[in-house]
Amino acid sequence: MMKKTELIKIYDPQQDAEGVRRAAELLRQGGLVAIPTETVYGLAADACNAEAVRAVYAAKGRPSDNPMIVHIADREMLPELVASAPPAAALLADAFWPGPLTMVLPRSQRVPLTTTGGLESVAVRMPSHPVARAVIRAAGVPLAAPSANRSGSPSPTTYRHCIDDLWGLVDAVVESDDCAVGVESTVVSLLGEVPQILRPGAVTPEDIRRVCGGVTVADAVLHLLPQDAAAPSPGMKYKHYAPAAALTLVAGSQSDYAAYVNGLYGERCRAGEDGGFYAMCFDEDVSLLQAPTISYGAAYDYASQAQNLFDVLRQLDKLEAAEVCVHAPEPEEIGLAVYNRLLRAAAFRVVKL
């Protein structure tokens, strides 16, 4: 059933106070509102309203065992959501909240199992985006907010991406600026002895090690889990983005990448099979390549790669790309998050030169 979706303009929470009020009103009534955060846009609903959360799963087409992140605006909102928190939680919150870090902790009874995908743990994050914070505060409730894309498409980093995916399926989309970080938050589990990174993001393993003294990175971040392995984070089981094109990650120097792509493109041209061939590359690669190119940033500017990643993946779908050779990012700093997302988009196809 189609809904009437409102576009609510909030660029500045003070100047656009009426928009904040309207978004909060819809959320308190159990509505679904796409809101900006510093990482990606989220599809928000009252985290403690199971019916509203069920509607989020439905609008996204998301499997109901894939849990949601609960967003708070103030540290005081945390205790009511969790049954307990180890000392590392306070240290990490001091260091990285508000910001792109999500902590997995034992859930309190206040958080419905619908929100946690049936798990006894809950993922909590305090975003730094002023619009997200203003909307959470005005709603007065913690907000469950998965990325505001249809399940299987790249996370949205502009309000237009939200409109493309969710118009007619949600109550409102907030019109605001493009997301500054561009990849989803770091998810760290504090359920074990040592913090474990379940999903890399802008807060790096090194950042967490510095604060907590130790950290591990889940195998699934860089490796395909065996069919029968239990995933520590349900999201790892799912192929995140299923671009229509077959993506391959090509790891190597600028000249090796160019030689590989030019060779393959030449073959495709001779066979008359070059339609839909693209090189998703760095700015510096463009002049060396014979194939059509689409750049996702400068080779050593990991932050810009993160910022552009999802928009470029969406553009490739619009271009009806069929075969894409991606110049693999360095898996360092936020580049690890970019590599992790691309690895999944490429269904783990990697060529190392």
Alpha helices in 70-125 (DSSP H): 87-96
Q: What is the DSSP string of 290-343?
A: SS-EEE-S-TT-HHHHHHHHHHHHHHHHHTT--EEEEEPPPSSTTHHHHHHHHH
- Cβ atoms of 98 and 128 within 8 Å: the answer is yes
> Which of 49, 115, 116, 147 is in the footprint of Mg ion by CB under 5 A?
147
Nearer CB in complex with ligand TXA: 66/262: 66
Residue 67 contacts ligand TXA per CB under 6 A: yes
Among 49, 121, 153, 196, binds ligand TXA (CB under 6 A): 121
Residues of span 87-106 touching ligand TXA by CB under 6 A:
102, 104
Give 220 or 321: the residue with its C-beta nearer to ligand TXA: 220
Binding mask 229-248 for ligand TXA (x = CB under 6 A): ----xxx-------------
Stretch that binds ligand TXA, among 60-68, 217-225, 257-265, 298-306 (CB under 6 A): 60-68
- DSSP summary character for residue 29: T
Residue nearer to ligand TXA on the CB measure, 79 or 192:
192
Residue with tokens 């002895």: 193
By CB under 6 A, residue 122 contacts ligand TXA? yes
User: Does 153 engage in binding with Mg ion (CB under 5 A)?
Assistant: no
Confirm or reject binding of residue 233 to Mg ion (CB under 5 A): no
Query: CA 70, CA 145: separation in Å to the nearest integer?
Result: 6
Among 49, 147, 305, 340, which residue interacts with ligand TXA (rule: CB under 6 A)? 147
Written as six digits, the tokens of 230 are: 């239990």
Determine the size of the site formed for ligand TXA (CB under 6 A): 27
Residue 59's SS3 state is helix
CB of 147 to ligand TXA, least distance (A): 4
Structure tokens at 107: 């859930």
Which C-beta is closer to ligand TXA: that of 119 or that of 141? 119
Q: What are phi and psi of 350, to 5 degrees?
A: -130, 130
Return the amino acid letter for 174.
Answer: V
Question: What is the spatial distance between Cα 132 and Cα 138, in angstroms, rounded to a whole number?
Answer: 10
- Judged by beta carbon, residue 5 or residue 37, the one nearer ligand TXA is 37
Is the bond preceding residue 98 a cis peptide, omega within 30 degrees?
yes
**Which residue bears the tokens 């180890």?**
86
Residues making contact with ligand TXA (CB under 6 A): 37, 39-40, 42, 66-69, 102, 104, 116, 119, 121-123, 125, 145-147, 184-185, 187, 198-199, 233-235
